[in-house]
Amino acid sequence: MKKEKLEKYIEEAKAGDQTAFKILLNTYWKDVFHFLFEKIKNEDEAEDIAIKAFAKAFDKLETYNKKYTFKTWLITIAKNIYIDHLRKQKAIFISLNREDKTNIDVLDESPSAEDAIITEQNLAVLLANIKKLKPAYQEVIQLRYFQEMRLKEIAMVLNEPLSTVKVKLMRARKLLAEIIKKSKK
- Same domain? For 117 and 81 the reply is no
**Total of domains in the chain:** 2
Q: Could you tell me if 85 and 14 lie in one domain?
A: yes
Q: Please, which residues have CB within 8 angstroms of residue 1's CB and are 6 or more apart in sequence?
A: 9, 27
DSSP tag of 145:
I
- Predicted local distance difference test score (pLDDT) of residue 97: 45
Q: Are residues 15 and 81 in the same domain?
A: yes
Cα four-point dihedral sign 166, 77, 47, 179: negative
CA nearest to 57, candidates 72, 37, 40, 42 = 72
- Residue 151 burial by CB count (10 A; 0-12/13-18/19+): exposed, middle or buried? buried
Q: Are residues 180 and 126 in the same domain?
A: yes
**Both 31 and 85 in a single domain?**
yes
Q: What is the DSSP letter of 65?
A: -
Specify whether 10 is located in the same domain as 74: yes
pTM: 0.64
pLDDT of the residue at 98 = 45
3-state helix, strand, coil in the chain (%, to 5): 75, 5, 20
DSSP character string of 104-124: EEEP--PPPHHHHHHHHHHHH
Which tens digit of pLDDT belongs to each residue from 85-118? 887 776 434 444 444 455 555 555 565 666 666 6
Does 98 map to a domain? no
**pLDDT for residue 50:** 92
Q: Are residues 117 and 158 in the same domain?
A: yes
Distances (CA, A) of 46 to 22, 33, 50, 127, 151: 19, 6, 6, 25, 11
85 and 117 together in one domain? no
Torsion of CA 155, 156, 160, 166, to 10 degrees: 0
Q: Is 82 found in the same domain as 14?
A: yes
Sign, CA dihedral 13-16-19-21, equals positive
φ, ψ of residue 131 to 5 degrees: the values are -65, -15
Q: What is the CATH number of the domain that holds 167?
A: 1.10.10.10
Tell me: do 173 and 140 sit in the same domain: yes
Per-10-residue mean pLDDT of the chain, 185 residues long, equals: 86 87 90 92 89 89 86 91 81 44 53 62 80 91 88 91 88 87 79
* Full domain range(s) for residue 28: 3-89
| 85 plus 115 within the same structural domain | no
The CATH number linked to 69 is 1.10.1740.10
- Asked if the structure places residue 99 within a domain, the reply is no
pLDDT of residue 111: 59
For 15-29, the pLDDT digits (tens) are: 888 888 889 988 999
